[in-house]
Chain A
């Protein structure tokens, strides 16, 4: 093996000799798996709209405060109870104008900037709680699927947690632990954020764990895992290199479901009055605050309600499309 010249391309030489082996059709360029996934995903109109809307709303709440610079908590009692700008279409005398396109509330706070600020909180809670639930669920699912000794106990534990009354417990935890966390983190907002994210994350990992465990159990018996084990790969490495990339699609699908649930749970807590402090807008809180006067100002209920519903709808459609796109049995049909 010292200085042997390697032929430039042995395959080409062979093809020249055996002319019959040449393909009559030109070969299609190789396609990566993710390109296939993307092509299938694009066919699902709802998923494209859902994904697009999710990106739009995320950008709107992230960049919104830089474009619409009005403070969400600034009181302006002289300009209270403005109607949204579109009421001018049928009612020329309505208190409305370009200064507050979505109107103002009973204390004169601008509703558009409140919506942006509220969306920031709701989306941040949703994303972080979803990631937390995914990490816990995947870890438990992989451990239960891969290590036989852990399987029984981890799955019994998952079943137990599944039969817990989730919303009552979440209500309990949020009400009871509000005070100490507030003093621990210095500000009530930070304490509440950590508490709500933690509580939602800790109570919504079970479905992910179950799905991941099922997939790992099936994958574990396949030949490539046997091959990996036979060359002495350590369990940790097998999980990271061989198993996790193969369960990425169920994880992504349950991620979208988790995001939707987390946003709804956070809004429900705010609605029931156990969420963030009262001057801190979130979509659920805006909705709850507007309910007593919804006869006169229906838009104040509708705007946050529609924002929550459309975001969750978009996320659900995205999940639907991802499920189709990531399933190799459906893809290409």
Chain B
């Protein structure tokens, strides 16, 4: 298992390099001139100097290489300096945002906890709701619960987050006035009262994101359960006198989880995509909202780094899913 994990970790390096190359290529091919906003009164030679100051004068492979070095070599040093008070990164060039002229990673580090909280909680809530629904509707196949569950998941699957978001705001913030419509990031949780406020403001963004996950995963869970419930080993388990709860919850569920884990991992890009929309609707200042801001401001280093961070998150969660896959299914041997 450990060798497999290490091998998978090493394999994810070329993947990440490929992704960074794709993003970089896209940004290089894009014709937009970052100097387009500079007034015409600025003489051309000054413009040329500004260009060089932004690092645009070099060939594309040098720019790419410099970005790689900055991201993979200098930024970790900054992190180590921050943790241990050392000074490895002293005076080294970091990835700078064109919009704010400050290091991109400093801004990202401020923004990323909000996104991870909302996205992570939404995924956990979604899975926690989806799996029992899937189990029960497969166990009572064609019952009223199953029919209703199928209908509700179909609806959840079909309603896009940019529709449920405004809809929930109108119902719960405007008409009922129960929940705040805007996520307050500066809110500090230090006692029971503020914790309640935090929960209240997280309910809507989390539920909007969780709806899609719930729908998708409970459908897969139901399908996998149905496949497994008719297998011979289930009959054997019942024949040797195991309790029904043990048969379903231990034998069948564990086997049905195997394909579902893949689906959970493959849903990761979609949920981060959904996070961009949800953050926009509920004004959560996470990295999805940051990406849109920088994109409209034509801030190329910022966009490059941020998109790549999305890629890292996706690759990382895929890796976790692969490892879980091995833990759940002893038939899979990685050596």
Contacts and interface: CB of A to CB of B under 8 A. Distances in A.
Chain B binds chain A: yes
Interface of A: 46, 159-160, 162-169, 171-173, 175-177, 179-180, 260, 264, 267-268, 271-272, 274, 284, 287-288, 291, 294-295, 298, 301-302, 305, 308-310, 312-313, 316-317, 320
Contact of B276 (A171, A177, A312): A171
Given A309-B160, A316-B157, 4 more contacts: A164-B269, A267-B162, A287-B166, A309-B163
A302 B151 CA distance: 20
A163 B269 contact: yes
Interface in B262-321: 266, 269-270, 272-273, 276-277, 280, 291-292, 295-296, 303, 306-307, 310-311, 314-315, 318
B311 A308 contact: no
A88 B213 CA distance: 39
Contacts of A284: 162
Contact of A313 (B158, B167, B272, B292): B158
Interface string B227-238: 000000000000
12 contacts: A159-B15, A163-B269, A164-B22, A164-B311, A166-B273, A171-B292, A176-B32, A267-B160, A268-B160, A305-B166, A316-B157, A317-B154
A313 B155 CA distance: 6
A288 B277 CA distance: 12
A171 B160 contact: no
B159 to A, nearest CB: 5
B118 to A, nearest CB: 16
A301 B164 CA distance: 10
Contacts of B154: 46, 313, 316-317, 320
B35 interface: no
B31 A163 contact: no
A175 B296 CA distance: 8
Given A168-B291, A316-B157, A305 B163 contact: yes
**Category for how many chain B residues contact A:** 35 or more
B109 to A, nearest CB: 18
Contacts of B167: 301-302, 305
B291 A171 contact: yes
A272 B277 contact: yes
B54 interface: no
Interface in B140-191: 151, 154-155, 157-160, 162-163, 166-167, 169-170, 174
B84 to A, nearest CB: 32
A169 B26 contact: yes
A308 B163 contact: yes
Contacts of B170: 294-295, 298, 301
A5 B267 CA distance: 68
A169 B15 contact: no
A295 B269 contact: no
B30 interface: yes
Interface in B84-138: none
Contacts of B158: 260, 309-310, 312-313, 316
Contacts of A46: 151, 154
Contacts of A298: 170
Contacts of B247: none
B27 interface: yes
Given A160-B15, A171-B291, A264-B160, A165 B307 contact: yes
A298 B175 CA distance: 12
Contact of A301 (B22, B155, B166): B166
B18 A160 contact: yes
Given A172-B27, A267-B162, A301-B166, A165 B272 contact: yes
A156 B128 CA distance: 32
B19 interface: yes
B235 to A, nearest CB: 20
Contact of A176 (B30, B162, B166, B292): B30
B273 A165 contact: yes
B269 A172 contact: no
B23 interface: yes
A179 to B, nearest CB: 7
A261 B323 CA distance: 29
Nearest to A183: B31
Contacts of A316: 154, 157-158
B307 A309 contact: no
A163 B277 contact: no
A194 to B, nearest CB: 16
Interface in B3-33: 15, 18-19, 22-23, 26-27, 30-32
Contact of A295 (B31, B162, B174, B314): B174
B163 A175 contact: no
Nearest to B272: A165
B2 to A, nearest CB: 23
A272 B280 CA distance: 8
A25 B293 CA distance: 75
Given A179-B31, A295-B170, A313-B154, A168 B273 contact: yes
A171 B318 CA distance: 23
Nearest to B292: A272
B269 A166 contact: yes
